């Protein structure tokens, strides 16, 4: 590879000769594909996921909003940005992000940018998460606020200086993937003077 080459992940379809539903879950399914590769057919089981969005909300002091939330599979209370599933039919990504910001953090953002996108666990899930940067924040009116339940009922919000959040990621104290990716992407974008980001608008 020369210095002028740009690394990029490339979509590629392989023939799926058999697809089976192993378990229909409440949020996502477990499926099995028999995939035709160059040296023969292989079976791959994975989580069929609807996808998700996450929001790095920054205030005028470059503090990032993180929420504490219990995550049962890892038996941890994690510090996470507002985030949620793409579980509303025909909802575009940034509109989903704006909905999650309002539901989980009682905030509305005046400006939005696409910050990062990643596969959360590409060896075992097709989940794709898009992370947005949100600024010019104002509170949702009290009468219009979403009533949170289940794990979300115990959410505790904190505003953390972006540099402190980066240090927490690098030191291994913060483990949520949306926090790790989003905080580091925001810090990198700030180093570049926020240039290069694509501004987007909720529907």
For residue 42, the cross-strand partners are 35
Active-site residue (options: 91, 117, 152, 167): 152
Residues 6+ apart with CB under 8 A from 80: 54, 66, 67, 68, 69, 176, 178, 179
What are the angstrom distances between the C-alpha of 110 and each of 58, 59, 135, 182, 194?
Answer: 12, 11, 6, 19, 16
Helix axes 162-170, 177-191, angle to 10 degrees: 130
Structural contact between residues 81 and 179, judged by C-beta atoms closer than 8 angstroms: yes
The residue length of the chain stands at 203
Is 86:163 a contact under the CB 8 Å cutoff? no
Q: Is 91 a catalytic residue?
A: no
> Among all residues, which ones are annotated catalytic?
152
């Amino acid at each position: 590879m020369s210095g002028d080459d740009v690394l990029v992940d490339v979509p590629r379809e392989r023939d799926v000769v058999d697809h089976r539903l192993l378990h229909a879950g409440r949020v996502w399914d477990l499926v099995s594909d028999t995939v035709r590769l160059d040296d023969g057919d292989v079976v791959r089981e994975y989580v069929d996921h609807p996808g998700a969005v996450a929001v790095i909300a920054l205030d005028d002091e470059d503090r990032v909003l993180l929420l504490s939330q219990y995550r049962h599979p890892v038996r941890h209370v994690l510090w996470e940005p507002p985030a949620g599933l793409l579980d509303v039919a025909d909802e575009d990504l940034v509109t989903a992000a704006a909905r999650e910001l309002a539901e989980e953090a009682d905030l509305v953002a005046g400006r939005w940018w696409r910050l990062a996108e990643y596969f959360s666990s590409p060896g075992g899930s097709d989940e794709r998460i898009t992370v947005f940067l949100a600024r010019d924040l104002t509170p949702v009116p009290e009468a219009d606020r979403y009533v949170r339940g289940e794990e979300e009922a115990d959410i505790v919000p904190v505003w953390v200086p972006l540099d402190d959040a980066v240090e927490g990621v690098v030191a291994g104290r913060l483990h949520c993937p949306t926090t790790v990716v989003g905080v580091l992407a925001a810090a990198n974008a700030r180093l570049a003077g926020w240039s290069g980001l694509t501004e987007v608008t909720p529907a």
